[in-house]
Structure 1
Amino acid sequence: MVGLATAWHLQEYGVEVTVLDRTGVAAGSSWGNAGWLTPGKAIPLADPSLWSYAPRALLDPDAALHVPFRVDAGLWLFLARFASHGTMRAWNRTMAALTPIDKIALDCFDELAAGGVNAWTRKGPFVIGFTEQAHAEGFVREIEGVIRHGQDVPFERLYQPRDLAPQLSEAVAFAYRLDGQRFIEPAPYVEALADAVIARGGKILPGVEARRVGSGRRPTVTLIDGAQMEADSVVIATGAWMPRLARPLGVGVQVQAGRGYSFTVQTEDPARHPVYLPFQRIACTPYQGRFRIAGTMEFRRPDEPLQPRRIEAVINQARTLLTGINFEERQDEWVGSRPVTPDGLPLVGETRAPGVYVAGGHGMWGIVLGPATGKLLAEKVVTGKTDPAIAPFDPLR
């Protein structure tokens, strides 16, 4: 999403673009995510609840947070830095930095639609469910914090949640309705964005992987096979794999793969609205006639294989809260590596190599913030101007 949105917006300036894609369009985290366009939930991942939740989660095999016990100095350094941002002061600082781009995120999807991207975005409502009122306190505190920072996020108590989401079981006794947000089917949407880039004269080269990006008279991309390509500008938008190319260019902020899992199931009643179970960290979305169930924040290396135990953990958490679902008839089991930074801010801007830029590090919010990121970075590439909305995302910070 991030790379293609940047390419599309560069085309708005008349720039000729070529996209090098290691795997193919809508692979990685742009495929199996929940497809939520929820700027009202694009918030810092670390908050004060981390200090009480994380120790319990590390001892609970079914918890959403999972960290393998292994010798990995880089991982434990990342976790220490991430935890240091688990304060209210840090949360407010990060939320203030995210709010400007959050506020334009949905408008940027409308701009893509007006410009010929043939894919829909759909309004909620989102149904937020809890087994008891006490479990809702953290969610309410987050939404109130987002509103305090300037976003309009309508939410209200929902007394008949099964009218909107019959997939919720009777165990869900307390619920909210969240409005002002949207959702998409992520893979079809990203494929439509790629089609639009191609229709406007862009090139997309699948199965092409960069080994190194350098700068001299012009930026140069060296491919795995040794071939080289020159360009006026290069944008590195490789998600959790960004450090391989960006670290030699002065981007020292850690990017850790925070891997999410998902699968789809059939439901007895048609799924019409997204469902969120915050206490269990489970997000559900209608997807091509089925119901996509997503969850887990697993800190592993981005290329590691899918861990079936994490799928089981999501099912174990969801089984009593969802009804009319046969969890044994799953399809589309998936793991994707979301790029998480310690301070919760993306990396968007120019590296120390002139003409070489990065766009990534959005954590769980790359889908919703992708078009806005592409728009503002394209402006930076072409005009040299840094919009205030991306100034806090300086990759050299």
Structure 2
Amino acid sequence: MSSNVIVIGAGMVGLATAWHLQERGHEVTVLDREGVAAGSSWGNAGWLAPAKAIPLSDPSLWAYGPKALFDPDAALSMPFRFDPKLWLFLARFMAQATQRAWDTTMASLTPIDRAALAAFDELELGGVEAVTRKGPFVIGFEEESQSKGFQREIAGAVRHGQEAPMERLDNPQELAPMLSDAVKVAFRLEGQRFIEPGPYVEALGRAVEQRGGVIRTDAEVTHVARGDRPAVILTDGERLEADRIVIATGAWLSRLAREFGVRTLVQAGRGYSFTVETDQPAEHPLYLPYHRMACTPYQGRFRIAGTMEFRGPDEPLHPRRIESIVNHSRRLMRGVDLDNRRDEWVGSRPVTPDGMPLVGRTRAENIYVAGGHGMWGVVLGPATGKYLAQLIDTGETHPTIAPFDPLR
């Protein structure tokens, strides 16, 4: 039975949910306080890499985390200040840094990881005018010992049922000419794809509108009111009612969802990026795992992304984080104009302590949430939207999203 649904959030997750609701005959209105792809959907690396959609908290954090706190160039960063919510999140996050917890979370993520790429194909076959690009991905290290953690992660993903063909490269510069001689060990990872994330999400937004959906920007929701016909209240006092409401606001999800029983902490794990010119055109994604740097060809330039910064989602960009990425890039890359940076960006990714998204119905039966994907909102967004739309339409929870119960 068709209904009217309001989706709060115009990122990949929110728009994919709207698109799939339209597929099932529902009318949708999407609200966003800034615009389509204005949040973490815009400046990320655009990786569609299910083999890397893995738990963020793993045993290596016990050795890496304390050292990172005192290294200004470390990929992990957080402020030294009294912040009870942040420290509670970190305590729960670190409690998951065991092999047993990693395997439990990985087992829950694997079904949606395996569905992720087909969900992009479904969007494009359904009329979304955007494309995904295949790898290979180049994975580089300064020395053999640095590669052990990455190889362990890939082996873990394969052990849980994913395919991630990987082979050693004799000449790392053959596929990634911007690598310097400091990178002595490299691998070629197949079976993954990438996109230009901002343009892709914008194309998805246009498809929603072309099919009759309404997207309203500059529409900040301050409150969601429960009832037989729930409603959203905007900052100017406007009240909009619907049959159902989906909260897909990323790192801001808790602000609207907590009163409906969604108690899992959602912390902003902020990522930074910028684009540069390269002497030789970049054709393939490049990953430098030891320094947590993910790089992608982007509109004729090269996007370099990195950092996991635990701060508030609305805090301003911290130039020191950009500088730390530049410092590593100067050593690991060549033929890259790091002094002519464009598109400097910070985006707040929604991280949960247990590494699993929050997808499903809240305690209010006509209010749903979709978020908490951490670094993987882009790659898992279309599949999330598909299965959440099924739940809203039929009342049945697909086994793929069952572990992501937002009331857990």
TM category, shorter: over 0.9
Corresponding position: 1:380 with 2:401: no
Alignment partner, residue 340 of structure 2: 329
Distance 1:53 1:129 in 2: 19
Which amino acid in the other structure matches residue 307 of structure 2?
Answer: T
Distance 1:173 1:110 in 2: 36
What stretches of structure 1 move > 2 A for 4+ residues in a row?
none
Corresponding position: 1:152 with 2:163: yes
Gaps of 5+ in 2: 1-11
| Contact 1:214–1:353 (Cα < 8 Å) also in 2 | no
Corresponding position: 1:363 with 2:374: yes
Alignment partner, residue 214 of structure 2: 203
Q: Greater shift after overlay, 224-233 or 32-41?
A: 224-233
1:299-346 Cα offsets, whole Å, 9 max, x none, are: 000000000000001111221111101211000000000000000000
Which amino acid in the other structure matches residue 196 of structure 2?
Answer: E
Distance 1:384 1:354 in 2: 10
Q: TM-score, normalised by structure 2?
A: 0.97
Alignment partner, residue 103 of structure 1: 114
Match 2:263 to one of 252, 255, 274: 252
Distance 1:140 1:318 in 2: 22
Shift of 1:373: 0.2
Alignment partner, residue 238 of structure 1: 249
Report how many residues are paired.
397
Alignment partner, residue 175 of structure 1: 186
Which amino acid in the other structure matches residue 395 of structure 1?
Answer: P
Shift of 1:120: 1.0
Which amino acid in the other structure matches residue 371 of structure 1?
Answer: P
1:21-76 Cα offsets, whole Å, 9 max, x none, are: 11000111010000000001000000000000001100100000001100100000
Which amino acid in the other structure matches residue 85 of structure 2?
Answer: G
Shift of 1:135: 0.4
Which amino acid in the other structure matches residue 90 of structure 2?
Answer: L
Distance 1:308 1:159 in 2: 36
Corresponding position: 1:343 with 2:354: yes
Match 1:306 to one of 290, 293, 317: 317
Distance 1:274 1:216 in 2: 47
1:136-172 Cα offsets, whole Å, 9 max, x none, are: 0000000000000001111111111211110101110
Q: Aligned with 2:27: secondary structure?
A: coil
Alignment partner, residue 94 of structure 2: 83
Shift of 1:216: 1.1
Alignment partner, residue 128 of structure 1: 139
Alignment partner, residue 173 of structure 2: 162
Distance 2:220 2:119 in 1: 29
Distance 1:151 1:216 in 2: 42
Distance 1:211 1:345 in 2: 26
Distance 1:128 1:357 in 2: 38
Which amino acid in the other structure matches residue 205 of structure 2?
Answer: A
Gaps of 5+ in 1: none
Match 1:274 to one of 274, 285, 296: 285
Which amino acid in the other structure matches residue 240 of structure 1?
Answer: A
Match 1:138 to one of 135, 138, 149: 149
Shift of 1:217: 1.7
Match 2:296 to one of 276, 285, 299: 285
Shift of 1:227: 1.2
Corresponding position: 1:42 with 2:47: no
Distance 2:121 2:37 in 1: 20
| Contact 1:259–1:336 (Cα < 8 Å) also in 2 | yes
Q: Aligned with 2:240: secondary structure?
A: strand
Distance 2:107 2:170 in 1: 32
Distance 2:391 2:72 in 1: 44
Alignment partner, residue 73 of structure 1: 84
Which amino acid in the other structure matches residue 396 of structure 2?
Answer: K
Aligned-residue Cα RMSD (Å) equals 0.5
Match 2:42 to one of 31, 43, 46: 31
Shift of 1:353: 1.0
Distance 1:361 1:281 in 2: 20
Distance 2:112 2:103 in 1: 15
Distance 1:304 1:215 in 2: 30
Q: Aligned with 1:23: secondary structure?
A: coil
